[in-house]
Amino acid sequence: METTMNENKGQAKEKVVLAYSGGLDTSVCLKWLQVEKGFDVIAVCGNVGQDESDLAAIKQKALDMGAIASFAVDMREEYANEFLTLALAANGLYENSYPLLSALSRPLLSKHMVEVAHALGAHYIAHGCTGKGNDQVRFETSIKALDPTLEIVAPVREWDLHCREEEIEWAKAHGVPVAATKKSPYSIDDNLWGRAIECGVLEDPWAEPPADIWTLTADAADAPDHAEYVEIGFEQGVPCSLNGEDMSFVDIVKALNVKAGAHGVGRLDMVENRLVGVKSRECYEVPAAKVLIDAHKALETLCLDGATQHYKLGVEQQWATAVYQGMWFSPLKMALDSFCATTQKYVTGTVKMKLYKGSCTVAGRKSPYSLYDFNLASYGADDMFNHESAKGFIDLYGLPVTTWSAMQGPAANAALQAEQTADEAAAANAA
């Protein structure tokens, strides 16, 4: 952890720890907390894999704006090893699409803000989330779970700045340097797991995303005309090698963001259901997450028994929903973590992925713990499956529906109709 502190002269003020990214919202928040609330602000910027070249400038910007302390915390290894590993074990995709990149980083950032608050004697924590977004829930539920005594300040929910354009004007009036303009009002969040882009023209679900929002991924039309194959090694569900070279999870993610991104893999344009009840159009770039989740799923098809694999599909959706809704530090989510962890014991092996023109497809998979038996699966001369057993199996397997049909279903109805027809015929003959 790196920190820089300004001298705090004059009367002591209440301290607030601010989740600070250096963007429009948090920059305005920093100054607003000083001007409108009279706080001494402590800025915390977490490096979870965003553009590292900006971190020093972000830390200094907070100090230049009057923060009494500014922290730059390298969270990348912790993020990968303690958060992304759990996400991968659960194949975490909210609404079967979104890899939860923002939802995964918020509890980690919250954890570090609570630690800073404890270390510096702050009783308040602030964030720059809007009143109709998901992140406010993720920050606040995480903070409450870790220390319910801390009070939360949410400037965006309090101030009378009703749009990003008004924020920009307020920032200019108070000497706050911001990069956003009225012509490019995008809100961007990025980390190792990808980029999230919203606002501006993207708020119209009919409008095609402008080309300039994409920075991690090439347009599929402009991607190389040849496919690239990558081999990803897993050890108990965790990526451990790329193309035969042992690498850390962090380095694998970085490499795949570049490789897969160059082939246009990982663009998402979706309308998702926010926790607060509104639908939101979101664009994401998730090249590494896309490749790794697809590869992990493919390896699980080899290594998990059918019943566990099928049951896990429901667990994955529960897990993703819990994380999306800010319940990282909840009993349910931790219980789901435990279930997923038990399923990963034998998820070891290698998956070959084909990257081409925006697509990511499984080209091969192998594992020393594979449950795939060639001699049982084959239809060729090596077939060892006992076909004669099938009839008895089907008879027993189908016994419940056979019984139902005879007593309550189609067979019973047919018998009843036949009986009624016979009775009607007998009555007609008697007449």
Give 392-429 pLDDT, tens digit per residue. 899 989 989 999 998 998 988 888 888 888 877 788 88
CA distances from 400 to 60, 147, 307, 396, 407 (A): 71, 54, 20, 8, 11
Let me know if residue 290 belongs to a domain. yes
Tell me if residue 305 is catalytic: no
Determine the structural domain holding residue 397 and report its residue range.
389-422
Residue 105: its H or E element: helix 101-120
- Six-digit token string for 115: 């630690």
More confident residue, 142 or 131: 142
- Looking at residue 4, its pLDDT comes to 58
- Looking at residue 184, its pLDDT comes to 56
Same domain, 363 and 413: no
The catalytic residue among 54, 74, 187, 241 is 187
Same domain, 213 and 298: yes
Let me know if residue 52 belongs to a domain. yes
- Looking at residue 23, its pLDDT comes to 80
More confident residue, 312 or 179: 312
Q: Has residue 51 got a pLDDT over 70?
A: no
- Looking at residue 10, its pLDDT comes to 47
What is the residue type of 258?
V
Same domain, 210 and 259: yes
Tell me if residue 187 is catalytic: yes
The catalytic residue among 25, 40, 189, 190 is 25
Instruction: Give the Cα separation of 390 and 227 in Å (integer).
Output: 42
Let me know if residue 430 belongs to a domain. no
Instruction: Give the Cα separation of 135 and 110 in Å (integer).
Output: 11
Let me know if residue 132 belongs to a domain. yes
Let me know if residue 339 belongs to a domain. no
Same domain, 165 and 235: no
Instruction: Give the Cα separation of 25 and 28 in Å (integer).
Output: 5
Q: For residue range 19-28, what is the model confidence (pLDDT) as tens digits? A: 998 888 889 9
Terminal C-alpha separation, the chain: 101
Instruction: Give the Cα separation of 55 and 248 in Å (integer).
Output: 22
Same domain, 146 and 10: yes
- Looking at residue 9, its pLDDT comes to 46
Instruction: Give the Cα separation of 78 and 113 in Å (integer).
Output: 15
The catalytic residue among 21, 102, 110, 135 is 135
What is the residue type of 201?
V
CA distances from 223 to 118, 217, 262 (A): 49, 9, 6
CATH code where residue 33 lies: 3.40.50.620
Tell me if residue 25 is catalytic: yes
Contact 134, 198 (CB under 8 A): no
Strands of the 194-198 sheet, one edge to the other: 187-191, 194-198, 279-285, 267-273
Same domain, 51 and 153: yes
Reported as a pLDDT band with limits 50, 70 and 90, residue 215 is very high
The catalytic residue among 27, 102, 105, 106 is 106
Same domain, 56 and 200: no
Q: For residue range 330-372, what is the model confidence (pLDDT) as tens digits? A: 999 999 999 999 999 999 999 999 999 999 999 999 999 999 9
- Six-digit token string for 307: 């019943």
Let me know if residue 310 belongs to a domain. no
- Looking at residue 318, its pLDDT comes to 98
Let me know if residue 378 belongs to a domain. no
Q: For residue range 326-339, what is the model confidence (pLDDT) as tens digits? A: 999 999 999 999 99
Last residue of a domain, one of 181, 206, 231: 181
Last residue of a domain, one of 181, 202, 231: 181
Same domain, 67 and 173: yes
Q: For residue range 72-127, what is the model confidence (pLDDT) as tens digits? A: 999 999 999 999 999 999 999 999 999 999 999 999 999 999 999 999 999 999 99
- The total number of structural domains in the chain stands at 3
Q: For residue range 143-163, what is the model confidence (pLDDT) as tens digits? A: 999 999 999 999 989 998 887
Side-chain half-sphere CA neighbours of 422 within 13 A? 6
Same domain, 241 and 210: yes
Place of tokens 């000497």: 175
Same domain, 48 and 78: yes
Count of residues making up the chain: 431
Residue 241: its H or E element: strand 238-242
CATH code where residue 352 lies: 3.90.1260.10
Tell me if residue 106 is catalytic: yes
Let me know if residue 415 belongs to a domain. yes
- Looking at residue 17, its pLDDT comes to 98
Instruction: Give the Cα separation of 168 and 176 in Å (integer).
Output: 9
Strands of the 151-153 sheet, one edge to the other: 2-5, 69-74, 40-47, 15-19, 124-126, 151-153
Closest C-alpha among 230, 210, 232 to residue 350: 232
Same domain, 6 and 43: yes
Same domain, 40 and 68: yes
